[in-house]
Amino acid sequence: MKTREEIFNILKQEFPEDVLELLNQPTEPIIVASPGAIHNICFYLRDTEGLQFDSLMVLSGVDDANGEKQTEEDGSVTINGGTLSVYYHLESLSLTQKVTLKVSTPRDNPEVESVESVWKSANWHEREAYDMFGIKFLHHPDLRRILMPYDWDAGYPLRKDYKNPEFYQGMKVPY
Amino acid sequence: MKSLLDQEFSDSNIVVTKAEDLLNWARLSSVWQLGFGLACCAIEMMATSASHYDFDRFGVIPRATPRQADAIIISGTVTLKMATRIKRLYEQMPDPKYIISMGSCSNSGGPYWQHGYSVLKGIDRVIPVDVYVPGCPPRPEALLEGLLKLQEKIRNESLVKKTA
């Protein structure tokens, strides 16, 4: 069983360009990686002796809301710039170790490489992150909305500056 | 044995009533519901159908197709995505058809009334409701009360005057 620091050092040696830093959070240390190489890092984490991260426990999107906030006349907020993030919680069932990865991607064009080819369970998780935050997962085999209706064109509901539409298919949406 | 003419016909099982009352009585005694559940209210609805509360004693039987159903119980949170499907199911039911809105979510959006971006705030925005049952979720007794209210409504229907 390896600590997060040890795992970070192994990854840093293998991917000096794409493994950026180890965030020391009060809850758990998080390894920050670049979105364009996350699939390669994940393949390495899965297939390397001593790491063997065979399970993606959860993949979640986060709106960091760290851009420029602009308050509109009606009191609603628009956010320009900043980032959206994706968190990967991995577990090795055989070695009983865990690790958390994070990638950040620009809010205006959020693109992250898909890890569906590494763990099949990522398929629906990535579709959910796409549905809720609009993060595009490159090389995903079937990237479409999973919870909201397919014809939902009012944006991505879990973004901090999301505005609900007045009507959907003739039905009034607000209370 | 006596011949036919000699027999007495005093206990002949004849009841005199109005056609309207007979029809209404038949309808209210066999409210077949569409087998359709949405959320936690559906668990209470199933409990109502089960042996302890026994919905069947009021003639309520779940049917597997809207074409054989007289009533639909909207039992749970209606999302916008589901609302379009419910509307289609409702349109597939033959007249006369009745709707019981069960629980806060279906009545008004319930706890999702403000921030539920995907929730329809009341099924009555899509289809006409006959009886609203409050509760979150309503107990089986409350759903039974709702059914009795619906039966009362059917009992007072008129063939010539449209009431619903």
pLDDT at residue B1, as a whole number: 55
> How much is the pLDDT for A12?
92
Q: What was the pLDDT predicted at B132?
A: 96
Nearest CA in chain A to B107: A175
Peptide bond preceding B140: is omega within 30 degrees of 0, i.e. cis? no
What pLDDT was estimated at residue A19?
86
Nearest CB partner across the interface for B114, out of A157, A171, A175? A175
Token representation of residue A7: 């795992």
Virtual torsion, Cα A151, A153, A154, A157, nearest 10 deg:
60
Q: What is the structure's pLDDT at B18?
A: 84
Tokens standing for residue A175: 């209370």
Amino acid at B137: P
Contacts of B118 in chain A (CB under 8 A): 147-148, 157
Residues A68-72: contacts with CB within 8 Å, 24+ apart?
Answer: none
Does position B5 have pLDDT exceeding 80, yes or no?
A: no
> CA B80, CA A153: separation in Å to the nearest integer?
13
pLDDT level of residue A151 (50, 70, 90 thresholds): very high
Q: What is the structure's pLDDT at B163?
A: 55
**Which one, of B101, B82, B84, B96, lies nearest residue B41 by Cα?**
B101
Given a cut of 80, is residue B160 above it in pLDDT? no
Would the CB atoms of A149 and B80 count as touching at under 8 Å?
Answer: yes
Across the interface, of B80, B114, B117, the residue whose CB is closest to A171 is: B80
Kindly provide the b/e burial profile for residues A11-47, where b requires at least 16 CB atoms within 10 angstroms of the residue's own CB: beeebeebbeebeeeeeeebbebbbebbbbbbebbbe
A146 in B contact zone (CB under 8 Å): no
Between B127 and B160, the higher pLDDT residue: B127
> Which single residue is written with the structure tokens 């990638």?
A103
Identify the band that residue A67 occupies on the pLDDT scale cut at 50, 70 and 90.
confident
- Distance, CA of B133 to CA of A10 (rounded, Å): 61
- What's the pLDDT band for B158 if we cut at 50, 70, 90? confident
Please give the mean pLDDT across all residues of chain B: 89
Which residues in chain B touch residue A148, judged by CB atoms under 8 angstroms apart?
81, 118
Inform me whether the pLDDT recorded for B8 exceeds 80.
Answer: no
Q: pLDDT band at B3, cuts 50/70/90?
A: low
CA angle B40, B43, B45 (to 5 degrees): 115
Residues above pLDDT 70, as percent of chain A: 100
Query: Strand A97-106 vs strand A29-33: parallel, antiparallel, or unpaired?
Result: parallel
User: Can you give the pLDDT at residue B2?
Assistant: 62
pTM of the predicted model over 0.90 = no
Mean pLDDT of A93-108: 93
Q: Report whether pLDDT(B66) > 90.
A: yes
Residue range A46-59: mean pLDDT, rounded: 93
Instruction: Please determine, for residue B113, whether its predicted confidence score (pLDDT) is greater than 80.
Output: yes
Please report how many Cα atoms fall inside a 13 Å half-sphere around the Cα of residue A66, on the Cβ side: 9
Cα distance between residue B141 and residue B9, in whole Å: 44
Rounded Cα–Cα distance for residues A36 and A122 (Å): 16
Could you tell me if the ipTM is greater than 0.90? no
Distance from CA of B17 to the nearest CA of A (A): 45
pLDDT category of residue A93 using cuts at 50, 70 and 90 = very high
Residue B129 has what pLDDT? Answer: 94
Out of A171, A174, A175, the one facing B83 most closely (by C-beta) is A171
Q: What is the pLDDT of residues A6-21, one digit of tens each?
A: 999 999 999 998 988 9
pLDDT band for B12, please (50, 70, 90 cuts): low
Alpha-helix runs per DSSP H in A61-133:
122-133
Residues of chain B with Cβ-Cβ distance to A172 below 8 Å are 121, 125
Q: Which has the higher per-residue pLDDT, B33 or B159? A: B33
Check residue B145 and give its pLDDT. 95
In 3-state terms, chain A is what percent helix, strand and coil (to 5)? 20, 35, 50
Which amino acid is present at B14? I
Cβ–Cβ below 8 Å for B80 and A168 = yes
